[in-house]
Chain A
């Protein structure tokens, strides 16, 4: 009795000190780029997905560890052969416009994606056979073949459910009038400037704490930091590492550093000499000091990669990678017939990823140590992507993060031999064994699928079509008044459960 009294007292104290959740307040988020379209099925950019994840819910949702938890679907069953998914929906939920949420609404959303030519059609259309409402609160997805990553695709931003009434009312303009079942309602959008959302008092999980969220476009990173420091914004995204020490010294600001799914690598043209020799590719891997890159160039905002998958991507297996060993690199080069090294061109974007060009220069110096003389050539992003289509590359620095958070969306596009440039296998890697593992992985489930991906990663790392560099971290900062800011490693920052203390 006395103990419970103490607990109650402690809680009350905590409330006074601002630890307990409080209702009310407007949060301003200063970010670099505006949303493009607020239509989940027809957008591919990160800002649009972030806004939409505050307005809409999906059947399944990611938590901060990227587990797939029930959301609008309270439970589901998967048939023995893995081709029929039956979802049981939560009852009594309404969209912001009053339209009831039910199985028909879900079927309407998915049938729209798979029958129309929208920007996320390819994420569902290839494997979904049909989506049918069996009764008011049961919806059945029939797949053409089993697909192990299906739940990940349902947790993707593209699978957020919007009001069928809104889609029918606005037609092609629905991307300007998003209506969902989520904790926040859409209020206004001034393109290039700001988006305003307000609390949905009837949210099925209970009213959110905040009254309003304002997403403000502030293209220049140092300006975003100023906004945060001056108190004009509560959250600033994409903080340059150089600003971090100053922000950390500020007692009112919390710096949020989180690992993402983005693996940065240097691809090598596996079909072109000297990179068609696996020993040369392994030598490149041994010659690069990943640890040093992460600590000095990236300032600690990256971790060495030992697989094409990031540790938080589903299916990741720690292969051990390539330790820094220049002597072994030299020996491998000599064995491959290049005792004096060779010359090559390394293409890189500049400013696309954190310290991309600086990394290329550091790699240039490291490779010079073992006799590989690299010319670093910077290209503007759009021109760079077009260059890769032509298969002219020797070495190229790129990054990849699967928006589905599943290994399938790394291994299949980047390593399956059917996906050579102009698709995304720009290293022109081909190994029939890996192809088979990827194809089996698509159809397998659970532990069996993990075993297949584990094996694929082992082979890929051994074959070294890339020099595996590092996994990037994302740096965001927020006011200490703002509590419970959530971060999904798919580079999405959420304030839907946050409160102002």
Chain B
């Protein structure tokens, strides 16, 4: 088990290194000059030149890369070109906001998806089943942007039940997490339904029924537990994807998170912030995968890591 952890840790570090390098060079290969963007459009050319020098953009690329890596080793993510604040200061609370949003959305999605998926699997091909699956299809295909605006208009402007966005109270998280969660729940619902249906047709379920267990016990202890393994993978993956979906949700609901910061920083060519965002997102993704792997062994005792 220890060897497994060590191996995963080394892989994680390697992944992060690759991500940092990729982010570093991809951003710099893209056309555009951070100094020009930051100086403001009607800035005198002297300001732009001074900024280029101040940001070290007039040095050879390899020197910039070396300096960045060396600083990163010391835990220094650099400073934002634009605001001159340390990157960690920019990222810190936004990262927290995005994680809160992602966790709320995925929890909502898991609850809704598994309930719908489970119920439909128990009554396959019924009216309820078709209704729920059409709903799921709509959930997958409805653009987050559109869904968010509709929710905001109904609950924020017309009914005035919930704030139209922003942060602060628990009421602020409801609409964004439902918007983001609906899209994710559809996949979970479909996955739960098909896996549970498959498990219900297995020999061991028939055996359990033959032994006279209550239907509840059969479903919860035998069928659902086995059906959950692929669902857990999906939920884990969704957590990763929710980071991507968060970009749109954060924009619509003015939720100050990492996704919004990443997009703004790319447009502003704020390299240190973009690189910082990449590191945080990659780390989160890798960590989620790792946790999903661990969860497997809990659900399926046959899986043991070496």
Partners in one complex: yes
| Interface-facing stretch out of A219-227, A303-311, A468-476 | A219-227
- Whether A232 contacts B44 by the Cβ 8 Å rule is no
- Whether B31 contacts A219 by the Cβ 8 Å rule is no
B39 partner residues in chain A, CB cutoff 8 A: 44, 119
- Whether A192 contacts B261 by the Cβ 8 Å rule is yes
- Whether B82 contacts A223 by the Cβ 8 Å rule is no
Is A387 part of the contact surface with B, judged by Cβ < 8 Å? yes
A382 in complex: contacting residue of B42, B45, B152, B269, CB < 8 Å: B269
- Whether A409 contacts B50 by the Cβ 8 Å rule is no
Total chain B interface residues with beta-carbon distance under 8 A: 48
- Whether B32 contacts A386 by the Cβ 8 Å rule is yes
C-alpha spacing A27/B260, complex, angstroms: 25
- Whether B30 contacts A383 by the Cβ 8 Å rule is yes
B251 partner residues in chain A, CB cutoff 8 A: 219-220
- Whether A385 contacts B36 by the Cβ 8 Å rule is yes
- Whether A223 contacts B252 by the Cβ 8 Å rule is yes
Contacts across chains A and B counted by CB atoms under 8 Å: 128
What's the nearest-Cβ distance from chain A to residue B92, in Å?
Answer: 10
C-alpha spacing A385/B164, complex, angstroms: 36
- Whether B83 contacts A193 by the Cβ 8 Å rule is no
Is B84 part of the contact surface with A, judged by Cβ < 8 Å? yes
Interface size class of A (residues with CB under 8 A): 35 or more
- Whether A230 contacts B156 by the Cβ 8 Å rule is yes
Interface centre among A44, A380, A401 (most CB of B within 10 A): A44
- Whether A382 contacts B32 by the Cβ 8 Å rule is yes
- Whether A217 contacts B256 by the Cβ 8 Å rule is yes
A403 partner residues in chain B, CB cutoff 8 A: 40, 42
C-alpha spacing A423/B260, complex, angstroms: 31
Closest to A37 in B: B83
C-alpha spacing A424/B36, complex, angstroms: 11
Is B33 part of the contact surface with A, judged by Cβ < 8 Å? yes
Task: Give chain A interface residues in 215-240, CB to chain B under 8 Å.
Answer: 216-220, 222-223, 226-227, 229-232
- Whether A121 contacts B50 by the Cβ 8 Å rule is yes
B37 partner residues in chain A, CB cutoff 8 A: 381-382, 385
A386 partner residues in chain B, CB cutoff 8 A: 31-33, 36
Is A501 part of the contact surface with B, judged by Cβ < 8 Å? no
- Whether A226 contacts B54 by the Cβ 8 Å rule is no
C-alpha spacing A123/B43, complex, angstroms: 9
Given contacts A192-B94, A217-B254, contact A381 B42 (CB under 8 A): no
Is A15 part of the contact surface with B, judged by Cβ < 8 Å? no
- Whether A401 contacts B42 by the Cβ 8 Å rule is yes
Is B38 part of the contact surface with A, judged by Cβ < 8 Å? yes
B45 partner residues in chain A, CB cutoff 8 A: 419, 422-424
Q: Which residues of A contact B (CB under 8 A)?
A: 30, 36-37, 44-45, 117, 119-123, 126, 172, 175-176, 190-193, 216-220, 222-223, 226-227, 229-232, 380-383, 385-387, 389, 400-403, 409, 413, 419, 422-424
Ordered by A's residue number, 7 sampled pairs between the chains whose C-beta atoms are within 8 Å are: A223-B152, A223-B164, A226-B164, A230-B164, A385-B37, A413-B44, A424-B42
Q: Which residues of B contact A (CB under 8 A)?
A: 30-33, 36-47, 50-51, 54, 82-85, 89-90, 93-94, 149, 152-153, 156-157, 160, 163-167, 251-254, 256, 260-261, 267-269
